[in-house]
């Protein structure tokens, strides 16, 4: 079958695909198909995203006045803890790797599945049971430690279900490790003939580096949570100063995982954006090799900067200096990536579909998030700004402005491939622009009040900050609308959406050379790769009249059978 024939089949009849391979609930819950597992993950993380979102919506409502509206301080503390725990561990960490990574990694390297399909399904079960258990604990009894579980608050003083919540997070950690191991093995063992390391799409590189970080860092989280559980449940004095323990030890262990975890959240986002921008700029990514080295550098140096979370925790001034220095160093490769994405636009042929709008929004917001990271890497500035809304704004620029924007970019970009349907482009663009505006309205005021001395995790606050809090809450409302919109038009597209061609964006990459949605085994015949990645220059002079036309890449073209 030629490529054209595949595309015709995709348009005219409903081809057999992984979606038609079984319609029962059981067929989904026992699947070992990486694409179906990706969808299981997508459904569960979306659910958790909205639970965490509702929690922070209530918090922002409460903060409309300095003296609260309808919550007790305990309820308030439980709500922001719930928000943090869910968003970090059950949304951000698995978001891009477990959904898009699972779906795309085998497709992008040209193989039938991940290396360990059953381990892949097992990791979803670990994730969903661990997360559901924690969320149940958070909603029924609550935890008032914040997502950071700082000792001795969490071990000796906090009320609520700390042990249960920590146990759930501990279990979910193993899901991360399993996914990481799976991806590393897949990238090493299952690349299609001709798919050399330096022909890998940057998304695959991002998955590979993030998997390394997951495998190496997550065990440290498991260990530190286990110690919290041991002390709280069994009285083992690890962190209790009164019995010779050290409360600050927990912070070292926790951040030794949780700082690399920041990169677990942002590296995949960088991978997504590196796919989207070249496609809509019709231009090879600028500095491919440098982009790869930057990913690796970030992953490695990211392990050595955890101490910058502890500049005021009683750490020695010399240690502060060293961690400050390394934090500046880790910012360099991030900056290089921003310059490269920008330079990719140069001499391109740019269009502004929804994925591109989200991706450009990512570059802008990530730039601000990264630069304010330099403020916090400077010890004297950090001493004043840490534990204030300045920090909140900074990491939301990276985690939400960055990772969530990239997640949305990827969701729109690969939606036709995953579902075989097109969504409403107009609504999607509207949502992308609303996200950008709502995001800035929410978090820019937080920089201002943070530098002015507004501490984080405050239920009641001095009334001089009320105007900023109201602005931020209104922004959050806009942001909420922007996040609910895709739920509606994506849902609509599943039923009424125009059928998607194999390659609606005329993108390079092997995933676009199979039908939309792909067949169960991805490729009827394993493709052969003999071109460099992002060969968009070859596309530029092609007629673009019929956007349903199949891709006519100059050579690899053996994408189907």
Partner 1 sequence: MTIDRFMTAASDYATQVDGTFWVLVTISSLITLLVAALIAGFSLRYRRGSTARRGPLPERFGRDVEIGWTVATLFLFLFIFWWAASNQLSALDVPGHAMEIHVVAKQWMWRVQQPGGAREINEIHVPENVPIRLVMTSEDVIHDLFLPTMRLKQDVLPGRYTYLSFTPTKTGVFHLTCAEYCGTDHSVMAGRLVVMTAPDYARWTNAQPEADDLAHQGEAVFSALGCSGCHAPTSSIHAPDLHGLYGRAVPLADGRMVTADEAYLRDSILLPAKDIVAGYAPIMPSFRSAITEDDLVKLIAYLKSLSSSPDAGVSPASGKERAGGTPALPGGP
* Local structure of 347: helix, strand or coil: coil
374 near partner 1, judged by CB under 8 A: yes
Enumerate the H helices of 386-523 as residue ranges.
389-396, 405-419, 425-451, 466-496
Phi-psi region of 200 (alpha: psi -120 to 50; beta: other; left: phi over 0): beta
Q: Which is nearer to partner 1, 170 or 390 (CB)?
A: 390
Shortest separation between residue 501's beta carbon and partner 1, angstroms: 19
Phi, psi angles (nearest 5°) of residue 525: -130, 135
CB of 412 to partner 1, least distance (A): 18
CB distance 502 to 7 below 8 Å: yes
- Region near partner 1 per CB under 8 A, out of 132-140, 374-382, 392-400, 493-501: 374-382
Name which position in 109, 135, 377, 529 contacts partner 1 (CB under 8 A). 377
172 vs 385, beta carbon nearer partner 1: 385
Please count the residues of the chain.
561
Binding residues for partner 1 restricted to 502-541, rule: CB under 8 A: 537, 540
Residues 18-77 that bind partner 1 (CB under 8 A): 73-74, 77
Q: DSSP strand E in 61-139: where?
A: none
Q: Which of 95, 30, 106 is nearest to 521 (CA)?
A: 106
Site for partner 1 in 131-190 (CB under 8 A): 144, 146, 150, 152-153, 156-158
CB of 349 to partner 1, least distance (A): 5
User: 189 to each of 182, 192, 509, how far by Cα in Å?
Assistant: 10, 9, 19
Residue number with CB closer to partner 1 (121 or 360): 360
Q: Which two tokens stand for residue 389?
A: 């809304």
Distances (CA, A) of 335 to 103, 294, 358: 29, 9, 19
Among 118, 314, 545, 546, binds partner 1 (CB under 8 A): 314
Residue 523's φ and ψ, nearest 5 degrees, are -130, 135
Q: DSSP letter string over 31-43?
A: ---HHHHHHHHHH
Q: Identify residues 330-369 at the interface with partner 1 (CB under 8 A).
A: 331-332, 335-336, 338-340, 342-343, 345-352, 360, 363-364, 367-368
**Least CB distance from residue 452 to partner 1, whole Å?**
5
Tell which one of 125, 197, 198, 460 touches partner 1 (CB under 8 A): 460
Does position 458 interact with partner 1 (CB under 8 A)? The reply is yes
Binding of partner 1 by 325 (CB under 8 A): yes
Q: How far is the CB of 530 from partner 1 (least distance, A)?
A: 20
Name the residue nearer to partner 1 (CB basis): 180 or 450: 450
C-alpha–C-alpha distance, residues 551 and 515, integer Å? 11
- The distance of closest approach from Cβ of residue 110 to partner 1 in the complex, given in angstroms and rounded to an integer, is 27
How far out from the chain centre does Cα 227 lie?
Answer: 28
Can you tell me which of 194, 462, 554, 561 binds partner 1, judged by CB under 8 A? 462
Question: Which of 21, 296, 371, 444: binder of partner 1 (CB under 8 A)?
Answer: 371
> Which residue in the set 233, 383, 487, 542 belongs to the binding site for partner 1 (CB under 8 A)?
383
Q: How far is Cα 552 from Cα 535, in angstroms, rounded to an integer?
A: 11
Q: Residue 185 or 313: which CB sits closer to partner 1?
A: 313
Q: Give 372 or 472: the residue with its C-beta nearer to partner 1.
A: 372
**384 touches partner 1 (CB under 8 A):** yes
CB neighbours of 356 closer than 8 A, spacing ≥ 6?
A: 276, 277, 279, 280, 350, 409
The residue among 72, 45, 224 whose CA lies nearest residue 144 is 72
List Cβ neighbours of 165 (8 Å cut-off, separation of 6 or more).
85, 134, 137, 138, 143
Closest CA to 162 of 150, 177, 176, 175: 150
Q: 217 to 256, contacts with partner 1 by CB under 8 A?
A: 241-242, 244, 247-248
332 contacts: CB under 8 Å, gap ≥ 6: 297
State the minimum distance, in angstroms, from the CB of residue 248 to partner 1: 7
Residue (30 or 537) nearer to partner 1, CB: 537
Backbone angles phi and psi of 455, in degrees to 5: -70, 155
Q: Binding to partner 1 (CB under 8 A): which residues in 279-308?
A: 281-282, 286-287, 290
Which of 129, 427, 455, 471 contacts partner 1 by CB under 8 A? 455
Q: Which of 54, 226, 381, 477 forms a contact with partner 1 (CB under 8 A)? A: 381
78-137: contacts with partner 1 (CB under 8 A): none
């Amino acid at each position: 079958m030629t490529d054209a024939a595949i595309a015709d089949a995709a348009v005219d009849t409903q081809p057999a695909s992984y979606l038609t391979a079984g319609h029962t609930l059981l067929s989904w819950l026992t699947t070992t198909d990486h694409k179906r597992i990706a969808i299981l993950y997508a459904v569960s993380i979306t659910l958790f995203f909205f639970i965490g979102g509702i929690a922070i919506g209530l918090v922002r409502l409460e903060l409309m006045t300095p003296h609260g509206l309808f919550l007790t301080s305990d309820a308030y503390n439980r709500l922001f803890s719930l928000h943090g725990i869910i968003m970090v561990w059950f949304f951000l960490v698995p978001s891009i790797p477990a959904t898009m990574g699972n779906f795309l990694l085998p497709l992008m390297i040209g193989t039938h599945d991940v290396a360990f399909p059953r381990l892949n399904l097992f990791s979803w079960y670990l994730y969903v049971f661990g997360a559901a258990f924690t969320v149940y604990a958070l909603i029924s009894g609550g935890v008032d430690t914040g997502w950071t579980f700082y000792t001795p608050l969490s071990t000796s003083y906090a009320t609520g279900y700390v042990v249960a919540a920590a146990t759930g997070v501990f279990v979910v950690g193993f899901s991360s490790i399993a996914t990481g191991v799976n991806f590393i093995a897949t990238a090493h063992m299952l690349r299609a003939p001709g798919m050399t390391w330096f022909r890998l799409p940057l998304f695959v590189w991002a998955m590979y580096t993030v998997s390394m970080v997951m495998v190496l860092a997550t065990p440290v989280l498991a260990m530190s949570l286990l110690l919290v559980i041991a002390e709280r449940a069994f009285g083992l004095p690890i962190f209790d100063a009164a019995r010779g323990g050290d409360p600050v030890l927990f912070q070292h262990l926790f951040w030794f995982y949780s700082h690399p975890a920041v990169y677990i959240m942002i590296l995949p986002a960088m991978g997504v954006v590196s796919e989207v921008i070249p496609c809509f700029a019709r231009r090879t990514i600028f500095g491919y090799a440098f982009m790869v080295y930057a990913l690796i550098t970030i992953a490695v140096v990211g392990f050595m900067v955890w101490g910058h979370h502890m500049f005021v925790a009683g750490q020695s001034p010399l240690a502060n200096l060293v961690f400050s220095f390394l934090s500046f160093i880790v910012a360099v490769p991030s900056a290089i990536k921003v310059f490269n994405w920008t330079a990719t636009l140069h001499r391109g042929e740019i269009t502004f579909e929804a994925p591109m709008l989200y991706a450009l929004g990512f570059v802008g917001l990530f730039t601000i998030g990264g630069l304010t990271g330099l403020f916090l890497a400077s010890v004297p500035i950090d001493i004043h700004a840490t534990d204030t809304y300045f920090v909140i704004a900074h990491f939301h620029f990276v985690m939400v402005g960055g990772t969530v924007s990239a997640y949305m970019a990827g969701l729109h970009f690969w939606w036709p491939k995953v579902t075989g349907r097109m969504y409403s482009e107009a609504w999607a663009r509207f949502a992308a622009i609303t996200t950008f505006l709502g995001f800035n309205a929410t978090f820019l005021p937080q920089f201002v009040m943070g530098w002015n001395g507004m501490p984080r995790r405050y239920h009641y606050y001095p009334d001089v900050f009320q105007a900023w809090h109201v602005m931020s809450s209104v922004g959050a409302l806009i942001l909420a609308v922007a996040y609910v919109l895709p739920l509606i038009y994506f849902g609509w597209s599943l039923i009424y959406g125009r059928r998607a061609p194999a390659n609606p964006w005329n993108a390079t990459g092997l995933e676009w050379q199979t039908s939309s949605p792909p067949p169960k085994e991805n490729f009827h015949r394993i493709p052969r790769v003999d071109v460099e990645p992002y060969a968009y220059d070859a596309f530029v002079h092609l007629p673009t009249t019929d956007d349903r036309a199949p891709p006519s890449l100059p050579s690899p073209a053996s994408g189907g059978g």
